[in-house]
Amino acid sequence: MTLENQHHQPKAPVIRALLKAFPDGLSVNEIKSKTNIEQDNIRKCLGKMPDAYIDRWRTGKFRAPPVAIWCVVEVPENCPRPRKQKE
């Protein structure tokens, strides 16, 4: 699945849609290869997205640092406030 990156378009919806399509998560490099968005822009967007989180860390090969695997959470549309219980 490849999502095209449009110049001067918001990047967060593209990244969010991609992460929803891959529920097991993706690294920044994997997101870059699928969307052609620059890695710096991906990192900035992921940091600002309230529904994105680091699910786990993948160990790097021979002296490479660990790689963060990002996922998005499904946010419920409506979360009603609990009713007060009468005594």
Cβ contact 57:27 at 8 Å: no
pTM, 2 dp: 0.76
Using CB atoms within 10 Å of the CB of residue 39, give its burial: 0 to 12 exposed, 13 to 18 middle, 19+ buried.
exposed
Q: What is the CA radius of gyration of the chain?
A: 17
Q: Could you give all domains of the chain from N- to C-terminal order, each with its CATH number?
A: 12-72 (1.10.10)
Q: In the beta sheet, which residues pair with residue 53?
A: 71
Residue range 9-25, pLDDT digits in tens: 789 999 999 999 999 99
Residue range 38-52, pLDDT digits in tens: 999 999 999 999 999
Structure tokens at 35: 């969307």
